[in-house]
Amino acid sequence: MRIRPIFAAALSAAAAVLLAVPASAVGTIVPGAAIPAAAQHRAAGEEVTTTLREAIDALPVAPEDRTGYERTKFRHWIDADKNGCNTRAEVLIAEAVTAPAIGAGCALTGGTWLSKYDDLVLADAKLLDVDHVVPLAEAWDSK
């Protein structure tokens, strides 16, 4: 897994934030990761204060591997629960500020959606894009 430069800068800025983590939970937060030296000699249940940077540094890192990835392996807009609405419609229904009416073939009418990126309220679902938060190839690489 690579940390993109923009995220690395944000993590560095946030590293001063302190997190209170019970020593007994440190091993369960990052299984198999090294426990920061400051936490190694604490009694179970005692509060441990560690920086965000220490917690991030304890995460296991492995090279990405795109072997076997093919975009065509991931179908576009499936109806996983077989209710007549594909993934795009399901997301639009779930994210609506004002619920749309659901017609035949899962046609959505009415409804409003808030664009969290620019604070626009939209009343036409056709103007909205629904996409992955993490690109499929990146998720595959980071398996």
The string of DSSP codes covering the chain is -PPPHHHHHHHHHHTT-EEEEEHHHHHHHSTTPPPPGGGTTPPTT-EEEEEHHHHHHTS-------TT--GGGS-SS--TT-SS--HHHHHHHHH-SBPPEE-GGG-EES-BEEETTTTEEE--GGG-----SS-HHHHHHT-
pLDDT confidence of residue 141 = 86
Instruction: Identify whether residues 81 and 115 lie together within a single domain.
Output: yes
One domain, residues 78 and 114: yes
pTM score: 0.52
Residue 11: per-residue pLDDT: 38
Inside any domain, residue 112:
yes
The number of folded domains in the chain is 2
Per-residue pLDDT tens listing for the chain (143 residues):
444 433 333 333 333 333 333 334 433 444 444 555 544 555 566 676 788 999 999 988 888 889 999 988 888 889 999 999 999 999 999 999 999 999 999 999 999 999 888 899 999 998 888 888 888 888 888 76
Both 31 and 76 in one domain: the answer is: no
Within a domain: 82: yes
Model pLDDT, residue 14: 36
Q: What is the pLDDT of residue 121?
A: 94
